[in-house]
Structure 1
Amino acid sequence: MDTIYMDNNATTKVDPAVLEEMLPYFTEQYGNPSSMHRFGGQVGGKITEARERVAALLGCDAREVIFTACGTESDNTAIRSALAAQPDKKHIITSRVEHPAILSLCKHLEKREGYDVTILNVDTEGNLDLDELNKAIRDDTAIVSIMWANNETGVIFPVEKIGEICRDRGVIFHTDAVQAVGKIPMNLKELPIDMLSLSGHKLHAPKGVGALYVRKALPYRPFIIGGHQEKGRRAGTENTTGIIALGKACDVALQHIDDENTRVKALRDKLESGLMSAIPDAKLNGDKDHRLPNTTNISFGYVEGEAILLMIDQLGICASSGSACTSGSLEPSHVLRAMGVPFTFAHGSIRFSLSRFNTEEEVDYVVENLPKIIENLRKISPFSAQDSGPACTPRSTE
């Protein structure tokens, strides 16, 4: 069987329709969209169309969309803008399970720039305590940044309730929606969200393009200073091919949003139930009822995630380990640590993330082959099934 790609939360295949849309802008219509001549103006028109397509998927006004290079830039821009616009406020709130694009920035701001950061805990299913959030907000809180959906477990956070708390307390709310956009319906016109980040390569556009939603009338300070592009909100010659591709990808995603939540979800559930029933000592990580339709994170007790990935790679199966282990380290991922998953389970966690390009035959192939791999690895595992080991306790980002 050809490569079975189930690592779509890491990156996605560029949709053939997206590739077809962007190709002419490499060699035929290559003008600078900021040029005064008609040749460049045609490209500018396609960027306008792309902005409208992104806005349609998000349910917002096209004027609220700023194109960036990636989700990380969007995250950094959102937080730094909120801080720059409110120089008297020195407090940031985020969660322990955020992407490094948020956590690493907050760590930097705390250590190098004198900001105070509160990091909220999650429970064993990866959910936040909204009372803890409400109590954490202070008079000098500049921004709350909580992801819409977790990249490892797929757990969806109650962004509407979080936004309402922030709005009631007069605090800017940003959400990293990189994993959520294109997978679940959104309507930002009806949600109390001030800023939202997304990345093209998570929804079948190429790498190197992203976007930031900024609510109208929100005080905003640009992160990249230079020319007049993006109405002065993000300087630099536009990545025209990437932006056009992102627009098309959003258009296609909007057409397939029901498929994501029916057929893709059914494939995910079949994969999950097949593996959980065939493999003893398997544990599902995250809230089963509130998660992305394409994502499952399963811990296989008493084996190493890296060993599992190496074995399934030989069968052409691509997935990710929930473990952030490096050579000489047995440290599980920060997300599973925050959830208190026992070490001998956290270390053997595998994330399968599907897309609309996956098939039932691929799911059957994984369910047929993975149980044998786990069985063989357990025979040589240094871990004992009688001793599950201590839970992974939450740690600070220090």
Structure 2
Amino acid sequence: MNEFDAVQELADALLFEGYVLYPYRASDGKNRVRWQFGVLMPPDYSAVDPSERSWSQTECLLDGDDAVITVRLRFLQAQWRHVLDADKAEVTVLETEDATYRPWDEAVVRTVDITTRLQRFPREVPFHLPGGTETEPIGTAGFLRRTRQPITGTVALSIKKLPGPYGVTRLRIRVENTTPNGSSERVGALRQALIAHHVLVAAEGCRFISLLEPPEWARAYAAGCDNIGLYPVLAGDLVLSSPIILYDHPRIAPESQGDLYDATEIDEILSLRTMTLTEEEKREVRGTDPRTAELLDRIDTLPAEFQDRLHGTIRYLRKVTEPEPVSKPWWDPGMDSTVSPATDTVQVGGVAVGNGTRVRLRPGVKRADAQDMFLTGRFGTVVAVLSDVDGETHVAVALDGEEGEVQRSHGRYLYFSPDELEPMT
């Protein structure tokens, strides 16, 4: 088993975060500005736009100085996909029986591996990805021609033994895009960029020290690490240096049924929205990218029980509920005669507030919600008075007017603490 296999799924999620955005069509405006995470541009473009860097630096801590280190750099290389008709002339759209193809930037996964002992540091490893062109027939309707530009870069490794009695070593990994003569336009520069790059590190012979939660004696060492463009977190026994903020030991939610690429990863919403695409829109999704075609097929055939799993879960309750089936809930308000939300009242300013009481809303006493500015001073009618298991009281209110009618028809109300209400009696 490869030492990085345990984090492969997580690393792939980083690699393809934001790869293509819903509604997953090449013609959609959202997909004309892509690839925002972990991009290392050619240095010529970085000189034009200093907000885009051409290098990144990872610094992490080891609790020893004699180990075999394996570093894996992963990134995407863009390739421009031209659409050709049957005569190999470029066209803006190509229709086949089940798909609609348009020009599009695809991407190829690239990996650079380095294995060496700490004693052999410092070390600089250059890499080169050649350009090229490939042509793929699409039945008898036409062709797809994919063109890649050459990319060059370096991975520089160095160490520093830190002072003190603990034997701590700081490992530095600098990744740099050295591609010459880069484009001055972002779209062109992206075709010679290291896209969504991240670094995996394994150590045989010593262990890594967390920078997020270091032991007390290592806090000063952790504070002295300088990470630029990436940040390292622990992933089991490995280090994952990511362009996206993560905690130590991140993982993919077990309910997830696969990558949705959209950079929001609200699986249920994206899945339901994808199901609403028209047949014409789905044809273009199938022709946009092989990954979106697979995504569409997966969602279209997703069993209902798997879709239900995306609706939400409270994981900490599993250890209570999973060992033995519970025949009935530990507390059922319908069976508790002391609870009656429709008739219970709560005292507010000497007034018994309950179902049917008209109130003015004064939200924000116990919370800071930007939406409260739209509710302050509004009028509504109390629907129910509820108590939670912690003894707190909550008042359900339906707004006056059409909004309140919609809330009543759906049984979904606004909830306030008693001191956020002013009785209008």
Determine which structure has more spread, i.e. the larger CA radius of gyration: 2
Task: State the TM-score, normalized to the length of structure 1.
Answer: 0.23
Q: Which has the higher strand share?
A: 2
Q: Which has the higher helix share?
A: 1
